[in-house]
Amino acid sequence: VVTLQPFAHFANGSLPLVFLVALLVTLIPTTIGGLLSAIGIAGMDRLVRLNVIAKSGRAVEAAGDVHVLLLDKTGTITFGNRRCAAVVAAPGVSGKEVAEGALFASLADDTAEGKSIVEYLRA
């Protein structure tokens, strides 16, 4: 739009400023639509550099507002193959009570974690 006035002057023509402003106003929405894709790609690229994989552009937009990430369970981002290494009692609870509770709670647990608790406490 900025270059149209000099071209018109070079061709010995005139182009009123009102026409240029009207053209600019009509072109702005199409320019923004074209830029949205580029902005989305730039956001995806930024996340990839931080080792984050996004499944969609909407996820990239949402990730921009995230400050804390809470994960609900094993298996969300891990393989779920944790092993029992120790049983620690809370203050006021005996180690024997915790061990018995953990053992009884894990007897019917067929997961690797449940089996490892039983193995650890029976050893």
Q: Which two tokens stand for residue 3?
A: 């270059």
CA distance 109 to 117: 9
| Cα–Cα distance measured from residue 110 to residue 68, given in angstroms and rounded to the nearest whole number | 32
Q: Catalytic residue at 110? A: no
Among candidate residues 53, 107, 113, the one with its CA nearest the CA of residue 84? 113
Among candidate residues 45, 72, 109, 110, the one labeled active-site is: 72
Residue 47, both tokens: 């996340």
DSSP 97: H
Q: Which residues are catalytic?
A: 72
